[in-house]
Amino acid sequence: MKLLIDAGNTCIKWALVNRDEWLRNGVMPVEQAVDLPQVFPDCSDIPGTGLYDIQQVWVSNVAGEEVARHIRNIKVGQSASFNFIIAREMQCGVRNGYSNAGQLGSDRWAALIAAWHLVRGKCMVVNCGTAITIDTLSEEGKFLGGLILPGVDLMRRSLVAATSQLRLEQGSYARFPLNSADALFSGAIQACCGAIERQYALLDDDSVPVVLSGGAAGVLHKNLRLPLRVEDNLVLQGLLLIAQEAGA
């Protein structure tokens, strides 16, 4: 059995997987990483699915070394291996076009691998978390490059922190907002959607699918006029593919 962990800037997502079967999955705030050993549910209803039955832990971690330390402290079987992935020049059919392959974030790399195996062709991969990444794969599975920009919540928090008259209040999307809360929220939505649509326009091909994932995917997809494929846990999907290619 494998434990997959996607440690992002805001949340830690995890899944217990036995071969190709997803047994359990969940999410927790990254500031609660110290509690990781306690978050996994009792799987006694499924034979052979206790923590000590985990043979491998596969991790994408962009949350820093302290979170990595908490992950390594998870009490799994003594023979279990911890595998923290990094982007490579070539893996699982995807070729890395970054000028320095290892500088590409592990979350982006895993998401690209998952998207390639879902689409098997040219696509745009948009992961919407604390930051939004907008990456493109070629028809042959080469990573052509991508953008990093603040996510919806980060845009709102940053603007409130830098101004004296705005407060962080719950807003709703409106095409022409008539209050500050809606204006702040709608502005962030428009900025994120605008960046995604502008990057998509550079492809000059309206048939290319957009694989959309992340916590803000539900907010953004309602306002994007693109051929979308919304996928949960894209990074975890990529981790499983990486583990499988490694023969794990």
Give the predicted TM-score (pTM) of the model: 0.92
Q: What's the confidence (pLDDT) of residue 109?
A: 98
Residues 6+ apart with CB under 8 A from 178: none
- The torsion of the CA quartet 99, 101, 105, 107, rounded to 10 degrees, works out to 130
Question: Has 53 been annotated as catalytic?
Answer: no
CB 214 within 8 A of CB 127: yes
Same fold, 2-84 and 121-233: yes
Which CATH number is 121-233's, of 2.60.40.1120, 3.30.530.20, 3.20.20.210, 3.30.420.40?
A: 3.30.420.40
Kindly name the residue from 107, 135, 182, 206 that is annotated as catalytic.
Answer: 107
Q: Could you tell me the pLDDT band of residue 24, with boundaries at 50, 70 and 90?
A: confident
Q: Could you tell me the pLDDT band of residue 226, with boundaries at 50, 70 and 90?
A: very high
49-99 per-position pLDDT tens digit: 566 678 899 999 999 999 999 999 888 877 889 999 999 999 999 999 999
Is pLDDT of 45 > 70? no
Task: Please state, in angstroms and rounded to a whole number, the distance separating the CA atoms of residues 9 and 14.
Answer: 14
- What is the domain partition of the chain in residue ranges? 2-84, 121-233
Is pLDDT of 48 > 60? no
Task: Please state, in angstroms and rounded to a whole number, the distance separating the CA atoms of residues 55 and 98.
Answer: 32
Burial class for 221, CB neighbours closer than 10 Å (0-12, 13-18, 19+): middle
The residue behind tokens 């995604």 is 196
Identify the DSSP state of 29: E
CATH number of 2-84: 3.30.420.40
